[in-house]
Structure 1
């Protein structure tokens, strides 16, 4: 049952979130290119054992280049576990002037200065 109110209030909408399975090599640039900050990728499911996919690049730390492997970036960031994979959300953000590499959770990410194109993203665990 819902109730009507005479005063305006904050509102929300409930809807199903689509889930797309991706591979360890999938990048945001390939899978979910976005043109505006309001564009979002569907919820993603990453397979397990992406740590082994050494050909799939990870560029950055916390903020990743859209040329990065989504799933390997998620393992690097600690939002999914390598041995189990898992669900995650991608948040598009403006391009960075630089991406700082680091070693986290068994993955070495690359640094990149003054990229010529592309966007950036962050990854979040789905609990």
Structure 2
């Protein structure tokens, strides 16, 4: 009998961040690393200054985006904070703006360099 799939269970590193912390700052996804630590977002990120805590995109966010404000925008955490997992995805040519969960995200066309990410709730 030969198993087709396997996985390893290990303890996850948790990183507390500010409302302004971006994926570009925390985990730029340079090879061979392809993941971020689990993130703990503080409360009240909806009220953070959008000039310093930008949200660029909808569902898929530019790595210039605030991780925690993107998580609130996506609906994976509420404004009282919580744990978030970040997954790298292919960069987009266009990021679409939208108003979700009290946060207005920005659009962006043909960003130079950079990566993209999605956020997921930790349950």
TM value normalised by structure 2? 0.93
Q: Secondary structure at the match of 1:72?
A: helix
Residue 103 of structure 2 corresponds to 107
Structure 1 runs (4+) deviating above 2 angstroms are 35-38
Q: Secondary structure at the match of 2:73?
A: helix
Q: Secondary structure at the match of 1:45?
A: strand
Distance 2:77 2:82 in 1: 6
Asked whether 1:90 is paired with 2:86, we answer yes
Residue 45 of structure 2 corresponds to 50
Runs of at least 5 residues in structure 1 that lack an aligned partner in the other structure: 1-6
Q: Is the contact between residue 37 and residue 92 of structure 1 (CA under 8 Å) also seen in structure 2?
A: no
Distance 2:99 2:109 in 1: 18
State the Cα RMSD in Å.
1.3
Distance 2:6 2:96 in 1: 39
Count residues in correspondence.
Answer: 120
Asked whether 1:29 is paired with 2:27, we answer no
Runs of at least 5 residues in structure 2 that lack an aligned partner in the other structure: none
Do the aligned partners of residues 37 and 121 (structure 1) sit closer, same or farther apart at CA in structure 2, a change above 3 Å counting?
farther
Residue 122 of structure 1 corresponds to 118
Do the aligned partners of residues 15 and 21 (structure 1) sit closer, same or farther apart at CA in structure 2, a change above 3 Å counting?
same
1:35-93 deviation per Cα after TM superposition (whole angstroms, max 9, x unaligned): 249610010000010001123100000000000000000000000001x2000100001
Distance 1:94 1:37 in 2: 16
Distance 2:34 2:69 in 1: 22
